[in-house]
Amino acid sequence: MSARAQTVRLSPAQYRTLAGFARQRGLSEYAMLARVVDTGLAALVQGTVSTLDTREIVTELASVGTRIVDVERMLDRALFTACAAYCYARSAASGVRKSDAILTEEITAAYNRQRGLARENRP
């Protein structure tokens, strides 16, 4: 297949941009124009495929979102367990016998304190 000659009219701003890119890359203005046309046509052709890529990206983001929710739940349980261990250890170290109801209140208070501290730096 042979090349076909076309006349292209550029606005002064487009010409300055094209000439600037040509100078930066050490190309003639005609060679740079050919690259611009090739790149533009490739972008147009690949643009029809990008909808499939967009759907795939959305699917993957939804999957990541689901995993993040699972990780948040696991971290929440780990925080609660750490607060419970702290409260039980503190109670045992003090030597004062406390009822399970009082320990549960202390655990919940410690847990809520830590959750509040974690939220402080959020926008």
pLDDT digits (tens, 9 = 90+) for 89-103: 999 999 888 999 999
Q: Residue 56 falls within a domain, yes or no?
A: no
* Same domain, residue pair 76 and 112: yes
User: HSE (CB half, 13 Å, CA atoms) of 81?
Assistant: 6
Q: Residue 78 falls within a domain, yes or no?
A: yes
* Predicted model pTM: 0.52
Q: Residue 84 falls within a domain, yes or no?
A: yes
Burial class (CB in 10 A: 0-12, 13-18, 19+), 21: middle
Output the furthest CA–CA distance in the chain (Å, rounded): 94
Domain count along the chain: 2
What region does 2 belong to: left with phi over 0, alpha with psi -120 to 50, or beta?
Answer: beta
Q: Residue 81 falls within a domain, yes or no?
A: yes
Note the pLDDT tens digit of each residue in 32-91. 999 999 888 888 887 755 566 778 888 888 999 999 999 999 999 999 999 999 999 999
Q: Residue 112 falls within a domain, yes or no?
A: yes
* Same domain, residue pair 75 and 115: yes
CA dihedral 114→116→119→123, nearest 10 degrees, is: -160
What region does 99 belong to: left with phi over 0, alpha with psi -120 to 50, or beta?
Answer: beta
